Structure formats: C-alpha cells, structure tokens
Structure 1
C-alpha cells in the first residue's frame, strides 16, 4: 500500500513528506523544499500524517532509554516505540523514535520491524564505539604530529603501511589516504623523511625493485663449505706472473693476466669447479643473477666463503680456468687452449698499474690491448667516453664521489677480457656449445654522427650513446655492434655474473667430454637470470642517483661545471662530469653544444631523485 498524501516517509535516511501519490510514482518534498519523483519502494512510511511541512517536526522530549529497558531483546513497532519513548505517536515522535533506531545502539531494524538489543549487545556496541572514538583521537593526534614534522614510537602502527608502500611491499597506504596524500612510493618516502622516520641515508630502491639484499642463506653457505674441488689434473702456471688489476678495495677479483713468451694467458676464477648446474649454490646464484654493487656495500651473488676460496689472489695459490691466446700481427688472435690451472696472483689497483705501463710486462700487455682495440674499431666498434664516477657511502651516511679517469690500465684489462670473451664465443660456435652469447644491434639512427669518435666532443658522445641499442643475451650467436665483435660471450666474471658462471659450467663439461646443458636448458637459465639482471641494474642506477642526491644535501654549497650536450625546445641538457649527472636548464641565453657553464645546486628532491641547478 502506497503512503498517502501528506504522510511522513523515510527517504535515503532523511524525512520527507508525500505531496502526490500515484500507483507507481510518488512526489515527495525534502527538508530543503526540493521535490523529487520516486518509486513507492524507495521510501518507508514513518507516520500517516498529515504533515504540512517538515518544520512541524520539532525535537521530541522523552525517555528512549526507559523504553529500551522495557523492550530489550523483544520485537516492537515504530508506533509502540514512539508511545513508550515520547508518550504519543505523532509525526514528530515517529521521526524522533526512528532516529533512536537509526543510531543503532539500543535498537536495530527498519520502520516496519524493530528489535531492541539485549544489554550484552548494547555493552558490546558501546565498547566498540568507545574504541573507535579513542582511535579517532589517536589519529587526530598523529596527524597533528605529522604536520609538525615529528612522530613518536606509538606512531609506528600508522607508518607501517607507509613504509611498505615506500619499499614496494604494498600498492597503497591507508595512512596516506587518510592524510590526503598521493598513493605512490615517492609520496610515502617524502612523508617518512618529513617526520624523521627515515633519514636521507635510507635507500629504498633495492627493496622496491625486489632485488635480494640479504646475505646468502646459511643452508647455501653450508653447501658451499662442503663443496670440494674435483680430483682432476691442473696445469701448474704458478711460475708465471699473474696480475689481477681491479678497483681499489675490490674483494672479489675474478680475472688475471700473464704473458708467456709473447702469448697472453687470461686466468679466470674457476667457480664452475665447485658450483655445478642445478646444485643449491647454482640455483641461488641464478635467482640473484649478479652481484649487487651499491655505494654502501656489495651484496654477493655467491656465498662469501666461495669467494674467499676462489677469487684470484685471496689465497697463496688459486684455481683458475685459463685461456691461452696467441696475438697476431693484425691485432687478431688465436685461441690455443683452455686449461684448468693453478696460478699465483699478484693483486694491484688500476691506479697502481697506471704508473707501471712503461715497464715490463705492462708495456707488452698494453701493446696487445692496443692492437686488439684498433682491430675492433676498424670493425665498427663504438668507443664512447662519457664521465663516470665512483660513489661511496660510509657507515655514518657520509658520501664521497670520485671521478673515474680514462686510465690506460683499465683499457688494458678491458681489451684482454674482450679477447677472452670473443675466444669463448668462437670456440662455442665451432664446437656447437650452447652458451649465452651477447649481441647488440647496430644503432637505430645515428645520422650525422661520425663513425670514429676519437677526439669528439661530449655532445657527440652523448648523441651516440642515445642511439645505441641495448645488448641482449641469446643462445644464437650474433654481432655485437658496440664492441665491433662478430661474436662475444661474457665469460670472465663468474664470481659476479651468473651467465659468466653458466659459460664456465659449459666449458668445463666440454673440456671433460661430459654432457652439456642443451639449448633449451641454457635458454631457460638466460631468461631467469636476465629478468633479475634488469632489476639489479635498475637498483644500482637508482641507488647511485639516490646517494648522489644525498651528497648534494650534505654539500648544499656545491658548485661545479656542466657541459651542454643536447638542445631541446627552450631547454639545454647538461652533463655534470664531477657527478656523472644529467640535468636540464632553461635556455636563457642560447648556449652552443659543448659549452661549459658553472652550476650551483638550487634544490634536491630525494624521493623523486631529482635536483635543480642554477647557472652561477
């Protein structure tokens, strides 16, 4: 039955008066005077009226609590509840009785069927409301502290989901939503810094990219400790001077060089002698893909116990897989043999080796390297020389940034490693050994750029790098355009990169005449390791950016030179060599490419990894 004209009804939780009634439509008037057309089922009858206007619903005086005490646990009706609570059933008392029901503390139901809560139910509801009110008071106090830029220990319950979002463990934060802030990792990072919960030294990027940062598990370490070198014949090369040239402070040297009557030995840590396909250590290394090099420390792919046993020069004599190369007059070479060996390694830094390049055997090694470099350049290699730096973060959070000069010693080692990688690739092609070859397609477009970058300005180097395509691992051999090599395999860092270890496992099996992993198995390993390697590289890149900005925060008066490398619409792209940092400046006035400007830091946005500079 439809409510009649001038009756009081409930519509969307508010009172309304029926002004017109038809079979399928009602016209009702709301408290503000607005009239709307609704279906009869959209309203519920509170009182048959008549009600001239909702102003006729003054506050009713009564005792709903006594009514509840009489009715608790029983069913009742709205008219009965109005009578018991307010002494009569009128439009005003009907609305007053309904507000008591709608409050939900003492009664529950709808206008047609109402039930009084029991005393136990009322007590439970009251306790819940009191707890909610206390929570609201606590939240208001927390929001006030956030506005003041401080928190207390008890606020950790609010910050937990903020931290989870900041490090990539959650996609949203209830706390940020209630504070009216964006639901992004950057917004979470900003809040944590603003209240002092995080310090600038807190680096969220490895965790955000789901890169493992914890040490290798004890079970894997135990497996590594139990592993023993196989009982096999090793060539004794300990009479040769084997030079492991690496960065100052390197803890995992995995390659060394020797000259032997004009021939070049490239010795590589024989990791595959202890780490075999699909053993526990191999699976762990595959899941990590590579060492994670961060300014505040290195997270190793392999158990450190293995590094201590296998890294070249950490023990008096080291096991190695050694490649013997015979350099040719035209800069090419011949792979003579690959042998398991014993080597006695002398360690030194690039800086130390740089001072010895005019002495034997460094001068002869440099000559071999120079010939190989010339051959690669003649074959189309792209030699890009852009600023590089070494970023270090101490335990106290202080950051140092040191430019890495283009040292001849670095070039020497690099060329020798490229020769070894090319030799492994040639062998794999000739013997049908499934390996992870590294290929790189030719630049997408480098119109107008010189093929020979010798002596080119930084803007040319910058443009050339932007034109280069990403290298990729594959079981199919292919040309590496950037290196100027027709085939190449990364095979000289098995302590640091999983695909290098995979290459060694296959080489050792080939040398022993043992079964090889087939192409499908190698493809699966490439896919697994390469997917993680992308995250590792991103974590390293973003961490370097993070710590560079921390350095600028620690040196707010920093000034340095920038070089214009690209011109955009109204802006110049500028590289800051001392920081290996890219920034943009408004082009006022116009600046030619490769011009130098003096810059000062203007502002740093750590969560968004950006900095603004001004021209001095």
Structure 2
C-alpha cells in the first residue's frame, strides 16, 4: 500500500460525535411543503433575473449560496452584484425546520457524506442558486472605488437566475487563456485590490498547511495537501467585502450579530517577533504582523513555522450579539475590522438572522421580533456548532492519517518542525502524506527540516506517533 491511501468508514466517528443521521419528520414535511412555494406573499421582491449572475464554488458543489456579477463603474471603480440564497423564504420562525437548524448550527462536511444544516430538497435544490432557474435571493449591490473601498451599499430581496455554475479550476483556466466569463472577468483586479487592503488593515491570515481528504485511485481514502488557489482567494474577498459591509450596517443601527476575534496583546506579538528572530525571518521595526507575513514564501520551512505560530494571535474567536448599545469589541483580528456572516445561509445558521437585520435597517423597518428574540442565543449556538465542526474535521483527518499510515510503522518521512513543546516533543508537518502530528525526541529548532520515523499507529484512537530519526 502506498503512503497516500487507506480504507475504512466513518460510522464510529459519526456515533462518537452523535451526528444526526436524518431530519425529523416534521422538519422534512415543512421542507417538502415549502420547496415548491417559498413564502410567496411574505416578501416583495425586485425582479433581477436579467442580471447575468454566475456561481463560483469548489467543483461538484450543489449547495450554492452565492452568485456574483462584477461590473466596471466609471473608468476605474466597480459595481458588485452579490446574490445570496434567501433561506428565510423557506424556513418559518418557530417551526420544526427552524428548531432543527438551530440544533445543528452549520453543515458538517465528512468524506462519506455531509451532515447538512437544511434538508437536501432545500440546500441542494429549491434554495440553491442553481443555473437556469429562478430563485429567491437577498441581493447586495456594492459600489467600490478605484482603490477597492466600498462607498455605497444596497441590499434587498430579489428574484435572480444564475447563468452558469463555475468552479475555481474552470475560472482559473479561462482567465489564463484570456477567455473569462464576462461576469467574473474583473475578479482578479478587484480581488488583488481587496487583498492589498487587507494587509493595510492588518488582517492576519496564517497560511498553515491545509490537509484535504480525497478518494484514492483504487478506492479508499487519501490525504493530500490542499492547494491555495488564487481564484478561491479572490472569490473569498467578495464574500468578505459583503460581510464587512453588513457589519457596518449593523453597528450603525445598533443591532446585529458579528463574528469577532479580539486583537492579540502586545505579549503575543512580542513572542512572535522573538520566534521570527529565532527562525531568521526579517522583521523591520516599523512592520506589522500582516506586512511581514505577506512577504514570506509559505513553502519555506521557516515561513511555515512562523505562520503556524501566528495562529496564537487569533485566539478567542466568537460571536457578539447586541441590541441597543454597541459593545466595545466589534472587530475581527483575522480580517482587520468588523465583520459579519451573511453570505452562506444554506450552510450556516447565523447568516439567516444577520441578513434579516441588514434588510430591515436598510429599508428603515423594524427588525423582526423573531430575529430580536434569537440574537442573544446565537453566540452560544454558533459557538457549540463551530467547536463540533472543528472537532469533526480534525477527527476525520486524524482517522484517515491513521488508516494511511497503518502499514508503515518503522518507515522514515521528511517533515518540518512547526512548534516545539516540552520534554523534546514537537508538532511536525510530514510532507507525504501530509500529516500534522506530535513527534518525540526532537532536537531541531522550529522551522527546521527533519527526518522522522513512524513509531506507532493506533487506528481505533486515530493517533500516530513519530520520533526524530
């Protein structure tokens, strides 16, 4: 068996985390009833079906939350049309579907099938912004100046019809060939502008090794390193632009729910400076963390270790709800400003409520009472959901890592020391297969390439152990 392949199923993992296998009969009945007739008279809608919107997602995605159209505004500015699936048109407040979504919090992605926030009849069909069909949406229009800064925002309910379902690879290929879809031809230009602004804001984006589970060539599961895709990053900037605009609307109105990460303290930043010095990474006195990280090649071992250490600066992530007085801490250190989740309501609970706040305040209406009642509870619900999602993702990666390596005890591998621990232990990143693991007997410094030997694999407990060779 090659290093990159293993076999097994995730039934025990699903049982361990008590992941639901299906929706309640009441929730399914509600979803089926509303799928063909989404709240027809509840919300007036603009007809925006003439906008040539397209979706850009990972290959094979069916739960399509967003569709975009990028236009030139004047000689050098931009107009961004960003349609978001209107899940509130399908989910009645206080109903069985609403209750089930609150209990789940978000869609969980497992290699052998997703645990969805909403039934597939909605998430992959009636609510999804699939091409060629009219769908209810919440349509954001953002006017952006030549520097990439938004100066006007409009949000309203609309009917839309996506023209085409694109993915990162097809968009990248078309851009490289000089034949991009007209609706996203400006994505590289605007995406780069927004990424430059993120650095100027001090946004922190640690580029740690990302693992992905895929199917092996002869079946089973494989661990691969997830590539960083320019198109994916530019696409994410449109979502971040919208989320930051939503946060500003809510702060100005004094009501809403934000995704928050507190700024790192001086001690944490000083620690990272010392780490950079030990790794031989230049850090000018006048440079901030974001500026230093932006100038590094994350493929270099020393850069990899510094990026891994930067994660320590992003602790304390959570959600902040308010109705009246705006709290002192409303920023997101990873983004460099206030931010709210509003662009993935099919996959994440909080977006539905935050979107309703934005719709109400921009229209000059009262925020619906069902939203106001839910706001204080959303940070707890999303906190529990985020924790479970992180644990499930880590468990899946660890499980596949154990399966892949089960027959290779005693084999040596190339790796990089990311973080040193106590008593000679360290976290290492093994290059092939891409595995993050603890390693004993480490004498090398952080950011050093090392050879490690696999000493133990415990498949049942999803644990692998290495030692420095």
Q: Could you tell me which residue of structure 1 aligns to residue 280 of structure 2?
A: none
Give 1:326 deviation, angstroms. 1.1
Tell me which moved more, 536-545 or 320-329: 536-545
Do residues 419 (structure 1) and 241 (structure 2) align? yes
Offset at 1:519? 4.7
Query: Secondary structure at the residue paired with 1:501?
Result: helix
Equivalent residue in structure 2 for 1:321, among 138, 151, 168: 138
Structure 2: 5+ residue runs without aligned partners? 1-6, 73-77, 277-282, 284-288, 298-302
Q: How does 1:62-81 map to 2 (within 5 A)?
A: none
Q: TM-score scaled by structure 2?
A: 0.80
Q: Is 2:45 the partner of 1:234?
A: yes
Moved segments of 4+, more than 6 Å: 554-559
Alpha-carbon distance in 1 for matches of 2:163, 2:307: 37
Q: Which residue of 1 aligns with 2:9?
A: 201
Match of 1:481 in 2: 333
Structure 2 counterpart SS, 1:302: coil
What SS class does the counterpart of residue 402 from structure 1 fall into? strand
Shift of 1:380: 1.1
Change (3 A) 1:527 1:612: closer
Corresponding residue for residue 350 of structure 1: 168
Q: Which one has the largest radius of gyration?
A: 1
> Whole-Å Cα distance in 2 between the matches of residues 284 and 207 of structure 1?
18
2-structure distance, mates of 1:537, 1:606: 20
Tell me the CA shift for residue 345 of structure 1: 3.8
Distance 2:27 2:137 in 1: 23
In structure 2, what is the equivalent of residue 494 of structure 1? 345
Which residue number corresponds to residue 148 of structure 2?
A: 331
CA deviation after TM superposition for structure 1 residue 331, in Å: 2.5
Q: CA deviation at 1:397?
A: 7.5
Query: Could you tell me which residue of structure 1 aligns to residue 4 of structure 2?
Result: none
Contact 1:475 1:522 in 2 (8 A): yes
Cα 1:496–1:282 shift into 2, 3 Å: same
Shift of 1:306: 1.0
CA distance in 1, matches of 2:21, 2:132: 26
1:157-211 deviations in whole A, cap 9, x for unaligned? Answer: xxxxxxxxxxxxxxxxxxxxxxxxxxxxxxxxxxxxxxxxxx953443343233x
Indicate conservation of the 8 Å contact 1:391/1:402, yes or no.
yes
Deviation at 1:593, TM superposition (A): 3.3
- 2:75 paired with 1:254: no
Kept in 2, the 8 Å contact 1:295–1:547? The answer is no
Q: Secondary structure at the match of 2:174?
A: coil
Bigger RCO of structures 1 and 2 (CA < 8 A, at least 6 apart): 2
Please give the secondary structure, in 2, of the residue aligned with 1:258.
Answer: strand
Alpha carbons 1:287, 1:529 under 8 Å: kept = no
CA contact (8 A) 1:391 1:401 kept: yes
Greater CA deviation, 375-384 or 339-348?
339-348
Q: Does residue 252 of structure 2 align to residue 439 of structure 1?
A: no
Q: Residue deviations 1:332-366, cap 9 Å, x none?
A: 11243112221324212222222233544445112
Distance in 1, matches of 2:59 and 2:410, equals 29
Q: 2:460 aligns with which of 596, 607, 614?
A: 607
Task: Measure how far apart 1:379 and its partner are.
Answer: 1.3
Q: Hey, what does 2:99 align to over in structure 1?
A: 283
How far apart in 1 are the matches of 2:215 and 2:113? Answer: 8
1:318 to 1:607, Cα distance in 2 relative to 1, 3 A: same
Tell me if structure 2 keeps the 8 A contact 1:357–1:409: no
Q: 1:303 aligns with which of 83, 99, 119?
A: 119
SS at match of 2:186: helix
How far apart are residue 484 of structure 1 and its match?
A: 0.8
SS where residue 400 of structure 1 aligns?
Answer: strand
Q: 1:404 aligns with which of 217, 222, 226?
A: 226
Q: Judge conservation of contact 1:603–1:612 (CA < 8 Å) in 2.
A: yes
Quick check: 2:70–2:187 contact (8 Å CA) kept in 1? yes
Q: Which residue of 1 aligns with 2:197?
A: 375
Per the TM alignment, residue 528 of structure 1 is displaced from its structure 2 partner at its CA by 3.0
Whole-Å separation in 1 of the counterparts to 2:420 and 2:378: 42
Residues 203, 251 of structure 1: CA spacing in aligned structure 2 closer, same or farther, 3 A cutoff? same
Residue in 2 aligned with 1:521? 374
Maintained 8 Å contact 1:560/1:578: yes
Q: Could you report, residue by residue, the CA deviation over 1:398-421 in whole angstroms, capped at 9, with x for unpaired residues?
A: 112232111101111111110010
